[in-house]
Amino acid sequence: MLEEGLINHPVVGFGELGRKVNELRNLFRKIEESESLSPSAAEVQRTECLRSLREVATSFSERPARGDLTGEVCHWADGYHLNAALYEKMLGSVFDTLDEGKLTEEVEEILELLKSTWRILGITEIIHDTCYAWVLFRQFVFTGEQGLLKVVIEHLRKIPLKEQRGPQERLHLKSLRSSVDADDSCQDFTFFQSFLSPVQKWVDKKLNDYHLHFSEGSSMMVDIVTVAMLTRRILGEENDKAMESPDRDQIDRYITSSVKSAFMKIAHSVEIKADTSHEHVLASLAEETKKLLKIEANIFSPVLSRWHPQAAVLSASLLHKLYGNKLGPFLEHAEHLTEDVVSVFPAADSLEQYIMSVMASVVGDDGLDSLCRQKLVPYEIESKSGMVVLRWVNGQLERVETWVKRAAEQETWDPISPQQRHGGSIVEVYRIIEETADQFFAFKVPMRIGELNSFCRGIDKAFQIYTQLVTQPIVDKEDLVPPVPVLTRYKKELGIKAFVKKEIQEVRPVDERKSSEIVQLTMSKLCVRLNSLYYAISQLGKLEDSISERWAKRQSDKINIRRSMNGKSKSVVSNQKNQFDGSRKEINAAIDRVCEFTGLKVIFWDLQQPFIDNMYKNSVSQARLDTIVEVLDLVRS
């Protein structure tokens, strides 16, 4: 140490003492040689050498520097490197020998004692705080004791900024430089760089993958980030210029690096498990990404937001982009509502919804609109999903129409039971439609109001088709009602009678096909048709309410997100109460038509002989209701 301090790294020139340099080196060599001698001879030689060494070393140490008087200062070792190394070793005495992660109880006394060496070693308060912070930080790395890290922060904060240092202090610190040889090159370091660059390198490595290194919690991370920002501030001034970027830019880099690393790890893990999982890779990845963002938002973002207010926004938007890169090719090839689409679309949409909610928690709903336009490219899952859902709806409704036609055509128009006087076909129609509605709402894929409207229009059309098939055998009333006779004056009674008889006799007969259809439409079957139509319209309201409620429940949680993603407001619950107005109108008209046909058939077909012939063909005296009451009761029953 004496050789390093007095000869190899002198600050004060030797002057006339230069001739004693070789003498001092010879004494060092003799002391080393004494170790190979016998104990008695070694003791004698070592004692003589140490006595001579003291005289020579003292003369070297007392040589005055510029401005000093001879004998007033003792420069026993003026070399910066050795002084710093010695002081670093002495600072190591502050740790408890039984617990190296703790400071000894006498730490204050030790530091006060070490302060007495400052003038001899050329130590200033700034140098002390820097060296002490380094010693404490190195011990923290070895032991993991967080209490040491807090003391490191305390001393780093004591180091003043460059403009707060005196001119002499600035010159002194600027003169303290060191160099490191590496890869055939020599790298030069300032005082702060030599001590704090290793600190910065270590904390940057941890923070560039903070998901890995701080997975158990964030208490340690707060102190690590604080150390990173303090060392960055100090080292940033070493270039004699302002820092190139603020602290939030460095936090940006930490978030980007760590989030990317964490995402790549979960993506790799999901791909490994893909062979044993029944779920699509992208669906699993969406769930894992959502979990990752929850950890980010709940654990890490509150810490990082102290230096970067929108840390959560940055991590959320980055994960949105990373997952979007994986999702893009799948969206391009999704054309039909396959099992993979049904699995991936809801998971991806749920992830996007959660990302939006995390961002909204930071900037609010008002700021979310502009933020989405600036930072995000929406997945547009709702739009893509709407296309494939609409394709499924159109195909399914075609099958519904086929099933409805088959049910109506196979109907015998006999009542289901004495209590249920409607036909079985309308029950089958409702079963088909409700099962289709269940399938529609069972899809967890995102849907727009347009898909629902298309679905409802298809159902409305199916009811209208059924109604038309119910009334299809009903003939026109012109086929039942005879032509109205030409009006004549009352006083021409004989002429009227002759005319009536003539007109009745000339009624054109109904053709055989229609006659057969009319005969098959018995009173009981007409009543079953009528009851089936009534059942159809009475149950229509329940179907509408069910569809409206399920749609409202499905969409209620998405209104704010959809508004922000699309830049416009969309209604959550569309008024579905008028979706089946076409069916209502058709069914009501059909009920009126069946009722009218039934009345006309009874009078002009079933009672044609007793009613028309008996009451109108004979004389007035013979036209009595008594003759048709019995027949009317029979027809009515």
Q: Assign residue 406 the CATH number of its domain.
A: 1.10.357.50
Q: Which residues of 498-532 are buried (b: 16+ CB within 10 A; e: fewer)?
A: eeeeeeeeeeeebeeeeeeebeebeeebbbbbbbb
Task: From 347, 379, 411, give the residue that closes a domain.
Answer: 379
Q: Are residues 160 and 232 in the same domain?
A: yes
Predicted pLDDT at 458: 94
Q: Are residues 142 and 10 in the same domain?
A: no
Domain limits for position 129: 79-244
Task: From 244, 274, 300, give the residue that closes a domain.
Answer: 244
Residues of the chain with pLDDT below 70 are 1, 4-5, 8-19, 62-79, 180-185, 216-217, 239-245, 482-514, 556-577, 609-624, 627, 631-632, 634-637
Model confidence over 285-331: pLDDT tens digits? 999 999 999 999 999 999 999 999 999 999 999 999 999 999 999 99
Predicted pLDDT at 134: 94
Q: Are residues 237 and 139 in the same domain?
A: yes
How many domains does one find in the chain? Answer: 5
Predicted pLDDT at 150: 93
Model confidence over 459-471: pLDDT tens digits? 999 999 999 999 9
Q: Are residues 541 and 632 in the same domain?
A: no
Q: Are residues 399 and 308 in the same domain?
A: no
Nearest-5° Cα angle at 87, 82 to 89: 95
Instruction: Determine the Cα–Cα distance for residues 254 and 315; give it in Å rounded to an integer.
Output: 10
Residue 629 in any domain: the answer is yes
Q: Are residues 182 and 288 in the same domain?
A: no
Residue 561 in any domain: the answer is yes
Instruction: Determine the Cα–Cα distance for residues 234 and 157; give it in Å rounded to an integer.
Output: 10
The model's pTM is 0.75
Residue 576 in any domain: the answer is yes
Predicted pLDDT at 85: 83
User: How many other CB atoms are there within 10 angstroms of residue 44's CB atom?
Assistant: 13
Q: Are residues 301 and 327 in the same domain?
A: yes
Tell me if residue 484 falls in helix, strand or coil.
coil
Residue 481 in any domain: the answer is no
Residue 495 in any domain: the answer is no
Predicted pLDDT at 344: 93
Predicted pLDDT at 399: 94
Predicted pLDDT at 605: 78
Task: From 379, 411, 437, give the residue that closes a domain.
Answer: 379
Residue 505 in any domain: the answer is no
Predicted pLDDT at 569: 40
Cα→Cα distances 629→602, 606, 615, Å = 13, 13, 12
Instruction: Determine the Cα–Cα distance for residues 384 and 434; give it in Å rounded to an integer.
Output: 26
Residue among 55, 46, 56, 57 at smallest CA distance from 2: 57
Contact predicate 477/600, CB 8 Å: yes
Predicted pLDDT at 168: 76
Q: Are residues 152 and 176 in the same domain?
A: yes
Residue 601 in any domain: the answer is no
Cα→Cα distances 10→83, 584, 634, Å = 11, 106, 137
Predicted pLDDT at 571: 43
Q: Are residues 83 and 141 in the same domain?
A: yes
Contact predicate 341/388, CB 8 Å: yes
Residue 555 in any domain: the answer is yes
Q: Are residues 101 and 55 in the same domain?
A: no
Residue with tokens 């055509």, as numbered in its chain: 409
Q: Are residues 374 and 271 in the same domain?
A: yes
Q: Are residues 305 and 446 in the same domain?
A: no
